[in-house]
Chains A and B, each alone.
Chain A
Amino acid sequence: DAGITQSPRHKVTETGTPVTLRCHQTENHRYMYWYRQDPGHGLRLIHYSYGVKDTDKGEVSDGYSVSRSKTEDFLLTLESATSSQTSVYFCASSGTGVTQPQHFGDGTRLSIL
C-alpha cells in the first residue's frame, strides 16, 4: 500500500487556536487530498492538490487552508479552530490517471474544546 503517514495521530486543542495537520507520502504521487469523516456523513473532501503549489477546494473547504511546497508533503491548517471542526481527518494520495485509486493514511483524530 502507498506509504502515507499523518501527524499527529491525535490532538486536543482549544477553540480559536491555529492547528496544522501534516501528511507525508513516499510514493511520489502527484495528487493529494484531505478529507474529514463525521458520523452520518461518510468522508467529505476538504481540499486537494494536483501538484506542488497547485491546490483547489473541495466540498467542505470553509475554515481550512492547505499548502503543498513539496511533492511528498501536504499540510492542512485550521486558522482558528472551532468546535464544528472536531472530526477525524484523513489524507490520501493517488497517481496520475483518473482511475488511479486513492490510498489513505490512518487519520488524525482532532478534538476542539
Chain B
Amino acid sequence: DQQVKQNSPSLSVQEGRISILNCDYTNSMFDYFLWYKKYPAEGPTFLISISSIKDKNEDGRFTVFLNKSAKHLSLHIVPSQPGDSAVYFCAASQTGGSQGNLIFGKGTKLSVKP
C-alpha cells in the first residue's frame, strides 16, 4: 500500500505563473518531509524540507505547506520558470525510525511553458 501519494503524474504551467504540486501521505508517524527535483539522466536533487512542527517553510521561489490534519503537503513555485521543468518527488520519513529511510511518491512531471 502506497504511503506517499502524488496523484498527479503531470502538470503544465505557463512561465511566470504559480506551480502547485501536491502530495498526500497515510502514515501518521511521518514527521519530516522533503521535496526533490529530478532532471532526465541525473539523480534527484534536494529542494526543500519541512518538519511536522511547522506548517510552512520557504526558500526563495519555493514554499512547502504542510497540513497535518489532512496528511497533505504541497510545493508552491512562484514564479515558475522553464528551468523548473523536471520531475518532482515528495518524500517522507519518521525521524524516530532508521535514519534517512525515505518513502518516496511516484513523482509529478512539471512542464513550464515559455
Contact = CB atoms under 8 A, between A and B. Distances in A.
Contacts of A33: 100
Given A41-B106, A90-B43, A107-B42, 8 more contacts: A33-B100, A40-B106, A42-B89, A42-B107, A90-B44, A98-B95, A101-B46, A104-B43
Interface of B: 4, 32, 34, 36, 41-46, 49, 51, 89, 93, 95, 98-102, 104-107
A50 B104 CA distance: 20
Nearest to A97: B99
A101 B44 contact: no
A96 B104 CA distance: 20
A106 B43 contact: yes
A44 B45 contact: no
Nearest to B39: A106
Contact of A48 (B42, B98, B107): B98
Chain A interface size, under 10 / 10 to 19 / 20 to 34 / 35 or more: 20 to 34
Contacts of B46: 101-103
B101 to A, nearest CB: 6
Nearest to A44: B104
Interface string A42-56: 111100101000001
Nearest to A101: B46
B51 to A, nearest CB: 7
B45 A104 contact: yes
B37 to A, nearest CB: 11
13 contacts: A41-B106, A43-B44, A50-B99, A56-B98, A90-B44, A94-B99, A96-B99, A98-B32, A98-B100, A99-B32, A103-B46, A104-B44, A106-B42
